[in-house]
Structure 1
Amino acid sequence: MMQITDASTESKLTPLLRLAFRPFFLFGSLFSLAAIALWVGSLNGWFSFTPYGSSLWWHTHEMLFGFVCAIIAGFLLTAVQTWTGLRGLRGTPLLLLVLLWLAGRIALLLELGQLQWLAAVIDLLFLPCVALLMANYVVRVKQWRNLVFTPLLLGLTLANALMHSAVIGAFPAGMQLGSTIAVLLISLVIFVVGGRVIPFFTSRACGFDKPQPLVWLEAVGAISLLAVIITLLVSIGWQVPKEISIVLWATIAISQLLRMARWRPQATLSNPLLWSLHLSYLFIPIGALLALGFHLGWVYSMSPAIHALTVGGMGGLILAMLARVSLGHTGRPLKAHPQMSIAFAALLLAALIRSVLPALMPQWLIWGWSLSALGWIIGYGLFMLHYSKILSTPRADGRPG
């Protein structure tokens, strides 16, 4: 097993390239701010914006595959060092991966006409590279439990390809199908990762034993999410009975709420780095309940459910994880800056405004777009303000990483 604490080798690397969380957390968050600003600006008619696909396609795709997948890559390629004991991706290989991700973002900002296929190819390369890197680490130490992330990443690649197929005209329904599958697969990643880290972080900080997962409850949660993805694929050729969707979304909501209750969220109210995790994860069952409401005819569309899962579940949980992981992996005390409580609250409020509010009062939808964007910009803007230096300078304790 390789030595992962070689300080002399580490000191020769720029701090930003010492572990994958540094560039991907920093540039991914910065990109999300730019992407939200471009989207809400074009939506309100403040300027003309004609990227690859369309402004709607670009917004949907880039928040999922540009922002969220960058954070997933940074998290997994950092965590795999802890899981396997092997030296994590760093230096020139890490720089090349970051440049590949950046090339995809630049390519999709442009209207390339007959060269659209080239933009699609560049964008589609990133996730398979991350999947291969993850698989290489896991296989080398035969740690098969963590191989689960490789098929999830390849599934996201398939969803990405479906979205691109709509742009090139091969499969017009690919945008909606691909983006929805991506949302559900990322929700499954949150299910797996959240189930590991949220109860672990909570029990350590609050001084009680970590609750052991209930096998049957974990199975119900994972299988119901996978079943919804399968029904989406089946719906390409067949009409899926509404009752099946109702049962599946109800199962997801109930199982996730039961799972969360075992993590003792009530013990976290005095710790922003913890309550932000729990409240963000709560948007997974909230999204499931809104999806259930849609299939029962109570909610006007699936949009509120999708945005509960994306803005709240993904955006909120990512912000909370970045705030904690960035401190821990740079040798700093696990104490958030006081303004990060404002950041967490702004992001969670943005999620409520973009999901629950329009579900209850659809007439607020247009106002909700801008207000939700403002909450996102406040949340991730404060993160950039307080964490840019942390992510781009050496560890406070002088150790490698």
Structure 2
Amino acid sequence: MSQTAIKTTLPIWQIAFRPFFLAASVFITFGFILWALVLSNSLPASISQYQPYGGWLVWHSHEMIFGFVQAIAIGFLLTASRNWTGQAGISSNMLKAIVLFWLSARIAWLIPATPMVLLMLLDAAAPLLATLGLAQTLAMGEKQQGKGSQKYNWPFVILLAAFTLIQIIFHLLLTFQAENITHLMQVAVLMMAGMTLWVSGRVLPFFTRARLQAPAGDLPKGLLEFSMTSSWLIIPLFLMTQYFDNNALSLTTAIAALCAAASQGYRLALFYRPGVAQEPMLWSLYLAFGWLIAGYVLIAIDLLMGINNASTGVPLPWLHAMTIGGLLTMIISMMARISLGHTGRKILALPYMAFCFALLQAATLIRLLGPSVAPGIAYVMAILCIILALSIFLFHYGKILWLPRADD
């Protein structure tokens, strides 16, 4: 896209992070409000019997990961690829098409009578188009910068393609083998966690150095490869533990989870510099990274204690440590930073953003510890903390994402 075309395009369509960050944030806020009403049996009487496609629990599980987290990932990758390659990226028309398919899928999920095939195609369309758009941008970058210049970025294309395939598998399972949906969603969370550790491990040292003017420590040779290999290895191993009751398999998976936790924790310690604790735009990222590590530790504990989600039917602690403490905190912190930096604004915490990040930590702790004390109240309290945090974000960033750059 030429610079002239960019200038004549509405700001919201000039770059991928803008529509996806804004639309996904509004959607997730609405989603949590709706989920809080469901959990507290507070839906208006006129719709008290209403159920979305697949039922409330399936809707919540799917939309939190594939409606929200995946949308943020698409917006981030299509934006970051411009910096990686020096290219303009996808056109505004293609961006509009991806957002339209994403939004159509969100609406279709709320219609109980939506045909399965239609919803499956809508769900798969956004990540598929994003895969093609990202691949095109990387290919153009290699054409200009030389073959192999994007070798560390091509795996993100594979990852987006994998989420396209998972969307198709999800709907087939929901229709023909609904009992396996829980396992697929756990795999999706672990994939998102792996991708988040991968991306944040690349940018966290840079963010720290840029803000504190302190050089990052060198990683020991092989640490990155070991940490990421163990994080990805957990996914097939954990999936097998859900189908095979085997002590050796559970022990192997627990060891892999502890290896991932220890090696990722070591990376995080090497990233850390004095002054991080005084910068909300940094400590929020470090805490999010830490919650993902905690999730691996909790997986190991669950396996060693012989807890099985399939048999208990209750979400395990690692799931919410990773989704709320890890993914949600990382996403809001990254959105806050990217939205400022890519709109020509200083990257400083806006008023009450530190409180926003603190609310997410409170929500995670309440969700992990509260059910053993007061289950019904804990669930709603955790969601209210999340809704308040998202409201603070939208109050500041809704207009930033919509309006032109500060330096235009």
Q: TM-score, normalised by structure 1?
A: 0.92
Partner of 1:83: 84
Identity of aligned residues (%): 33
State how 1:306-325 maps to structure 2 within 5 Å.
306-325=319-338
Partner of 1:116: 116
Q: What is the aligned length?
A: 389
Distance 1:161 1:266 in 2: 46
Distance 1:324 1:14 in 2: 22
Deviation at 1:140, TM superposition (A): 2.5
Distance 1:280 1:265 in 2: 16
Asked if 2 retains the 8 angstrom alpha-carbon contact of 1:131 and 1:153, the reply is: yes
Distance 1:287 1:265 in 2: 24
Asked if 2 retains the 8 angstrom alpha-carbon contact of 1:164 and 1:175, the reply is: no
State how 1:232-311 maps to structure 2 within 5 Å.
232-235=238-241, 238-240=244-246, 241-264=249-272, 266-297=274-305, 303-311=316-324
Distance 1:213 1:13 in 2: 43
Asked if 2 retains the 8 angstrom alpha-carbon contact of 1:81 and 1:88, the reply is: yes
The DSSP-based 3-state class of the residue aligned with 1:296 is: helix
The DSSP-based 3-state class of the residue aligned with 1:335 is: coil
State how 1:2-401 maps to structure 2 within 5 Å.
6=3, 8-47=4-43, 48=48, 49-112=50-113, 115-142=115-142, 143-169=150-176, 171-235=177-241, 238-240=244-246, 241-264=249-272, 266-297=274-305, 303-355=316-368, 357-358=369-370, 362-398=372-408
Asked if 1 retains the 8 angstrom alpha-carbon contact of 2:214 and 2:273, the reply is: no
CA deviation digits over 1:177-201, x for unaligned, max 9? 2111111111111111100111110
CA deviation digits over 1:265-285, x for unaligned, max 9? 543111111111111111011
Asked if 2 retains the 8 angstrom alpha-carbon contact of 1:177 and 1:232, the reply is: no
Distance 2:238 2:304 in 1: 17
Asked if 2 retains the 8 angstrom alpha-carbon contact of 1:187 and 1:309, the reply is: yes
CA spacing shift, 1:217–1:63, aligned 2, 3 Å: same
Out of 328-337 and 366-375, give the one that drifted further: 366-375
CA deviation digits over 1:217-269, x for unaligned, max 9? 21122111221112245457644522112111111211121111001154311
Distance 1:201 1:52 in 2: 41
Deviation at 1:344, TM superposition (A): 0.7
Asked if 1 retains the 8 angstrom alpha-carbon contact of 2:254 and 2:300, the reply is: yes
CA spacing shift, 1:180–1:266, aligned 2, 3 Å: farther
Amino acid at match of 2:317: P
CA deviation digits over 1:311-369, x for unaligned, max 9? 111000001001111000000011121211111111121112223x15xx623333221
Amino acid at match of 1:211: G
Out of 62-71 and 171-180, give the one that drifted further: 171-180
Distance 2:244 2:162 in 1: 21
CA spacing shift, 1:335–1:389, aligned 2, 3 Å: same
CA spacing shift, 1:336–1:236, aligned 2, 3 Å: closer
Amino acid at match of 2:407: D
Deviation at 1:286, TM superposition (A): 1.0
- Which consecutive segments of 4 or more residues in structure 1 shift more than 3 A? 212-215, 232-240, 298-302
Out of 288-297 and 72-81, give the one that drifted further: 288-297
Out of 214-223 and 12-21, give the one that drifted further: 214-223
Out of 91-100 and 236-245, give the one that drifted further: 236-245
Deviation at 1:172, TM superposition (A): 2.6
Asked if 1 retains the 8 angstrom alpha-carbon contact of 2:87 and 2:140, the reply is: no
Asked if 2 retains the 8 angstrom alpha-carbon contact of 1:252 and 1:288, the reply is: yes
Distance 2:9 2:108 in 1: 29
What is the root-mean-square deviation in Å for CA atoms of aligned residues? 1.9
Distance 2:378 2:154 in 1: 40
Amino acid at match of 2:331: I
Q: Can you give the 5+ residue segments of structure 1 that lack an aligned partner in the other structure? A: none
Distance 2:385 2:76 in 1: 24
Deviation at 1:215, TM superposition (A): 4.0
Asked if 2 retains the 8 angstrom alpha-carbon contact of 1:347 and 1:378, the reply is: no
CA deviation digits over 1:82-102, x for unaligned, max 9? 000110234222111111110
Asked if 2 retains the 8 angstrom alpha-carbon contact of 1:164 and 1:174, the reply is: no
Partner of 2:312: none
Distance 1:89 1:372 in 2: 38
Out of 159-168 and 20-29, give the one that drifted further: 159-168
Distance 2:327 2:141 in 1: 30
